[in-house]
Amino acid sequence: MHQRFALPDVGEGLTEAEIVSWKVRAGDTVAVNDVLVEIETAKSLVELPSPYAGTVVQLLAAEGSTVEVGSDIVVIGDAAAGAEPAGPAVPAEPAEPSGSAASGGAVGEESSGATLVGYGTRESTARRRRAAPPAPRPEQPQAPAAPASGPVLAKPPVRKLARDLGVDLADATPTGPGGTVTRADVLALVPSAPAEPARREDRHERERHVPIRGVRKATAAAMVESAFSAPHVTVFTTVDATRTMKLVRRLKEDPEFAGVRVSPLLLVAKALLVAVRRNPDINATWDGDNQVIVVKNYVNLGIAVATPRGLLVPNVKDADEMTLKQLAVSLGEVAGRARDGKAQPADLAEGTITITNVGTFGIDTGTPILNPGEAAILAVGKIAQKPWVHKGKVKPRYLATLSLSFDHRMLDGESGSRALADIAAVLEDPARALTWT
């Protein structure tokens, strides 16, 4: 017998949750209370334990999708059921956001998309199940085309539309995912149906509607706040980083740095810290409420990290007091935690200045937007060999373009430019760090 597990309301009065990651796959054997899936609600990130023992027959919701409370998310069969052919499982990595189930893609995705929609969610709420338990129906593999027989599948609003128009759903030709009858299918049965909704259906396939939420939403709010409260100025310089690259190679072989990740970014971070020491005004915040510029005597160095869940900027606390090795270890730790989705609230709070490494994307430079509350942000472009005039001759040298955006309320062109020139000077000749610190 197959049991379906419907997404419960794990908070108080929640209506939906995002599937973050499945901890089981079709075919896995689970015991009662084994963790099935991690979900994120408006309130929290929680793991859902299995209410049933048996074999996972099918995952009904893709990672990244948003599911309504009460929708079935997984089918679990008796241990013996594992031998039966299971329905088409959700592909392991359909990280497409919700609303995209019908938006093209591979055939396999489309076929499984049907189950992402969660038709008939109302029938499967726990309350109903108790009130009138329906005979457990065997799961059928769902083909992309309409099922040969059985009840007509359609979402409740579509059923209502059909009822309102006096149309029998059984007469409609289902074109929706998993053989469901769509709004357009119902309207097609009505000769005078306005064409507009059909166009909308069509347009839906040409566009992808990504809900604005989570990290995206937070990023958007922070960027708007920053871009429209701090007047940004960006200055650029190209630097010969050949000596820096040599130093990176030497440090990689240095036994003291064994097991530590040494990258050009580490030396850029150090160069920025040296520059902050000489230009403390770039490590500051604008306190409009109290009409003061707060210049920090410590550096909590932020690093922009592209994570699977979006852009995060964790920072290394008191980076200015660290040895190069401590800095390397700390940068690795905070970035690693952010990438793994394990960033602590403290990791993301109280940054004072930020580096964004656009070079990792093969890009030469950019005009970064300030992390809100900070006075400056440094963008590092790709470091690559290019022709450069060195000691009077054109030679292949490692070049990089740096850009520094700063808040013109606090800093003028002169101070911002000096700070960037200092960073460039250290990267051009790392020995300068010795004379300047």
Contact with another protein (CB under 8 A): which of 130, 203, 206, 391? 130
Query: Restricting to residues 228-287, which ones interact with another protein according to CB under 8 A?
Result: none
Q: Would you tell me how many other CB atoms lie within 10 Å of the CB of residue 107?
A: 8
DSSP SS3 for 170: helix
CB of 416 to another protein, least distance (A): 35
Rounded to whole angstroms, the Cα distance separating 388 from 238 reads: 11
Q: 41: which 2 tokens?
A: 């609600």
Contact with another protein (CB under 8 A): which of 93, 127, 149, 194? 127
Q: Which of 204, 209, 390, 408 is catalytic?
A: 408
Contact with another protein (CB under 8 A): which of 157, 191, 345, 362? 345
Report CA-CA distances (Å) from 255 to 251, 265, 325, 405, 408: 8, 20, 11, 37, 44
215 counts as binding another protein under rule CB under 8 A:
no
CB of 92 to another protein, least distance (A): 23
Rounded to whole angstroms, the Cα distance separating 311 from 377 reads: 15
Give residue 436's identity as a one-letter amino acid code: W
Q: Which is nearer to another protein, 122 or 252 (CB)?
A: 122
Rounded to whole angstroms, the Cα distance separating 86 from 88 reads: 6
5 counts as binding another protein under rule CB under 8 A:
yes
Q: 435: which 2 tokens?
A: 């004379």
Query: Restricting to residues 172-191, which ones interact with another protein according to CB under 8 A?
Result: none
Contact with another protein (CB under 8 A): which of 2, 6, 22, 72? 6
CB of 215 to another protein, least distance (A): 14
| Candidate segments 46-54, 85-93, 325-333, 353-361, binder of another protein by CB under 8 A | 46-54
Q: 417: which 2 tokens?
A: 């430019």
123 counts as binding another protein under rule CB under 8 A:
yes
- 141 contact partners, CB below 8 Å, separation of at least 6: 85, 86, 87, 88
Q: Which is nearer to another protein, 277 or 339 (CB)?
A: 339
Rounded to whole angstroms, the Cα distance separating 262 from 276 reads: 21
Contact with another protein (CB under 8 A): which of 3, 51, 215, 329? 51
408 is catalytic: yes
> Do residues 42 and 14 touch, judged by C-beta distance below 8 A?
yes
Token pair 């292949």 is at which residue?
Answer: 396
| Candidate segments 48-56, 217-225, 377-385, 390-398, binder of another protein by CB under 8 A | 48-56
169 counts as binding another protein under rule CB under 8 A:
yes
Contact with another protein (CB under 8 A): which of 83, 131, 195, 258? 131
> Do residues 315 and 262 touch, judged by C-beta distance below 8 A?
no
Rounded to whole angstroms, the Cα distance separating 88 from 141 reads: 6
Contact with another protein (CB under 8 A): which of 10, 193, 222, 384? 10
In the complex, the residues that contact another protein under the rule CB under 8 A are 5-12, 32-33, 43-51, 120, 123, 126-127, 130-131, 151-152, 159, 163, 169-170, 344-346
